[in-house]
Structure 1
Amino acid sequence: MIGNKTILFSAPINFGFSEAIKKELEKLNYTIIDLSNITQQPFRYNGLLQRLHNCYRKAILQDYEFKKILRARAHEDYLNSLVKIIPNCQYGLFIRPDLFPRSFIENIKSKIQTFVAYQWDGLNRYPSVKDYISLFDKFYIFDNKDLSTSTLPTTNFFINSEDVNHYFEKNEKAYFIGTYEKKRMPNIIKLKNILNNNGIDDNIILYTNSKTTKSEIVNNGMHCIEIQLNYKENLANTINSAMLIDIHNPIHNGLSFRTFESLGYNKKLITTNKTVKKYDFYNPNNIFIWDEKNTDEITDFLNIPYEPVDNELKEKYDFNNWIKYIFDQKEHIPILLPN
């Protein structure tokens, strides 16, 4: 018998996202079978060629998930053995399903009544995921160029149920956190200097395990971390900051979590993603789209007060509505993508 609001769940563990989502599902009274950590099982390359291929994907394609995919494939037999003991579930939610071998998704499908996937990266960044789309009842994407007859629209979201009142160490800094990517470093450095010249201090945190890139980060006056912050630490930094920075990856046009955190926590945002202008919550008093040609306008933006956003519009992008929407539950607000 299918359990009432039982969900088979998996999401990348980066920056504690999977744990944060799991906590929100628990608050919504879901019984969770969590597979997120399975892709982190110990792994060894099967040879030098595979190791070099992974290095190539990281250095050239900025694909930091390839090793996780290899790890999951190496444990394919173990994963498929789990199918026998996982109970029937009313729901299934796999964020980045390509982190699992396709055979496992095929085998587990029969145990899930409503089986949904969400790819929170562009399909062309991880093209192997295209082979998974047909395995799900619904497959959601966040970039309108990936829309097709086989995919459905949604966006990222913000988590609103945390008690934000205890984050009281307010500062006037601009906050950015992310994984080091060489191609976006020039923009990060340039924007940091622009803000500093306007009297705005920054809290820019980049994650890397490379000694070379660590030196580059530190020498440019930024913070380097070798262990990813958990979501609660990131949330504290977000809420305590005066504004947020979003340097998006040009491989896709989907809006980052940083964009929706700025909406949910009433923060000003400076972003390089021009697509945000097409969304219903866009307000030039709150969101500055920096294209390097309009640097002189940043000073005026910094001096304009934040303009509160209507609560109903914020509710649309709250995780509570997001989960109702992707499972097509009652009383949800549809989350569509702009043309």
Structure 2
Amino acid sequence: MKILLITPEFFGYECAIKQALIKSECEVDWYPHIDAPNNLYKVFYRFFSFIMKAHYYRYLLSRISYDSDYDKIVVIKGEGVGQKLLMKLKSLFPKAELIFYNWDSFKNNSLLPAEFHLYDKVKSFDGDDCKENNKVEHLALFYSNEFKLDKAVNVDFVFYFAGTLHSNRYKDVKDVVSLVEGTGKSYIYFYCQSRPIFYLKKLFGKLPKELSITEVGFDKKSKEELRVLLLKSNCVIDFSHYLQVGLTMRTIEALGMKKKIVTNNSSVINYDFYNENNIYVLGESSFTLDEFLLKPYIDLPDAIYKKYDIDNWVVRLIN
């Protein structure tokens, strides 16, 4: 099977998806979903997509092989992919099935109706997207091979959190940690894109007044560094974006590493891997956070861990 794969470049997940497809005996040609040689281009794609889709149209058509006989064209997020490009791809590769996957919610990353109807299949990680449109298939995220638990290690941290600084995350994470203060140290990393952005957000009241720049990092951690820190932690803190109910990559990676989770996302209760010993839903769990941390982690059936493994996930993505 030959696949044209178009995805964001995001912490190497695009490479993991490509390699998993190759492992499943697919031939894969990969391209980024935007052509952004610098951050200014990324801003244009985000806020002026109606202009930049023409830019991406020229970019992709100047690079793909017109002789390729693709069986499937898979687009993930696809900020630069518009109606004109989809129609061109359908004419160039008429036998190819077009599949769209949204690892954001449609509230954050929407498809125009004309684009939506050009896809043969549309899938989303967000359950609400599927409730609102029965043509959207639900497909939760995955954990890649490095987030499979291979051996137990000594736990150094009570809680683990690493994420971008936005909305109420600082206060929310600090509140969780303070609930069990004194039980041990935690690894907490708030990422901000740059110091100027940090100061602008502070100036316009987008961040708490008490937040110090010394509590913020401006370097993106490598996936390997985050994996080691997660492995050495007892429990992952997860706060989902207020515009989505889909489970974050952080949550699924915690599943793969067999780590406990504290989350504000009550939709996790509806997933097959939910166990109250392993997942604490803020405001919903029947016991205190202290009690939760003392409970042993309950191993799940192997079939559940395999279901969210990237090797199985890509099969569900393309079928």
User: Per the shorter chain, which TM-score range?
Assistant: 0.7 to 0.9
State the Cα RMSD in Å: 3.3
Residues 296 and 316 (structure 1 numbering): CA distance in 2 closer, same or farther, change over 3 Å? closer
Q: Which residue of 2 aligns with 1:248?
A: 240
| 1:256-277 Cα distance to aligned partner (Å, 9 max, x none) | 1122112211000011101111
Q: 1:302 aligns with which of 290, 293, 297?
A: 293
Deviation at 1:204, TM superposition (A): 2.4
For structure 2, the 5+ residue unaligned runs are: none
Secondary structure of the residue aligned to 2:145 is: coil
- Give the whole-Å Cα distance in 1 for the aligned partners of 2:89 and 2:27: 17
Given that 2:148 and 2:256 are in contact with CA atoms closer than 8 Å, whether structure 1 keeps it comes out as: no
Q: Would you say the 8 A contact 2:157–2:184 is kept in 1?
A: no
Instruction: Provide the aligned length of Structure 1 versus Structure 2.
Output: 307
Question: Relative to structure 1, is the Cα distance of residues 130 and 308 closer, same or farther in structure 2, using a 3 angstrom cutoff?
Answer: farther
Alignment of 1:64-213 (within 5 A): 65-66=46-47, 71-82=52-63, 85=66, 87-110=68-91, 111=93, 113-147=96-130, 148-160=133-145, 165=150, 171-211=156-196, 213=198
> Shift of residue 316 of structure 1?
1.7
Assess, with a 3 A threshold, how the Cα gap between structure 1 residues 305 and 208 changes in structure 2: closer, same or farther: same
**Partner residue of 2:37?**
41
Q: 1:223 to 1:19 in 2, by over 3 A?
A: farther
Is the 8 Å Cα contact of residues 17 and 231 (structure 1) preserved in structure 2?
no
Counterpart of 2:27 in structure 1 is 31
* 2:267 partner SS: helix
Return the letter of the residue paired with 2:278. Answer: N
Comparing 112-121 and 123-132, the one that deviates more: 123-132
Deviation at 1:150, TM superposition (A): 2.6
Gaps of 5+ in 1: 46-50, 55-63, 329-339
Letter in 2 for 1:224: G
Instruction: Give 3-state SS (helix, strand or coil) of 1:182's partner.
Output: coil
C-alpha contact 2:33 2:79 (8 A) present in aligned 1: no
> Is the alpha carbon distance of 1:76 and 1:114 closer, same or farther for their aligned partners in structure 2, counting shifts above 3 Å?
closer
2:225 partner letter: E
- What displacement does 1:162 show? 6.4
- TM-score (structure 1 length as normaliser): 0.77
Q: Are the counterparts in 2 of residues 98 and 132 from structure 1 also a CA contact under 8 Å?
A: no
Q: Give the AA of the match of 2:291.
A: D
| Paired residue type of 1:127 | S
- Out of 249, 257, 266, which is 2:249 matched to? 257
Q: 1:19 aligns with which of 15, 20, 28?
A: 15
Q: 2:306 matched to which residue of 1?
A: 315
Does the 8 A contact of 1:133 with 1:150 survive in 2? no
**Alpha-carbon offset, residue 69 of structure 1:** 7.8
TM-score (norm 2): 0.82
State the alpha-carbon separation in 2 of the partners of residues 162 and 201 from structure 1. 20
Structure 1 residue 33: deviation in Å?
0.7
Cα contact 1:178–1:206 (8 A) shared by 2: yes
**CA offsets, 1:56-89, max 9 Å, x none?**
xxxxxxxx94478865543432323345636121
Q: SS of 1:238's equivalent? A: helix
Pick one of 219, 224, 233 that aligns with 2:217. Answer: 224
The answer on whether the counterparts of 2:165 and 2:192 sit within 8 Å (CA) in structure 1 is: yes
- SS of 1:97 mapped into structure 2: coil
Larger mean CA deviation between 201-210 and 135-144 belongs to 201-210
CA–CA distance in 1 between the matches of 2:113 and 2:154?
Answer: 44
Distance 2:268 2:236 in 1: 14
8 Å CA contact retained: 1:39, 1:72: no
Residues of 2 paired with 1:68 and 1:165: CA distance?
A: 42
Task: Determine the C-alpha separation between the residues in 2 that align with 1:129 and 1:170.
Answer: 47
Counterpart of 1:335 in structure 2 is none
User: Take 2:292 and 2:247, find their aligned partners in 1: how far apart are those partners?
Assistant: 21
CA contact (8 A) 2:127 2:138 kept: yes
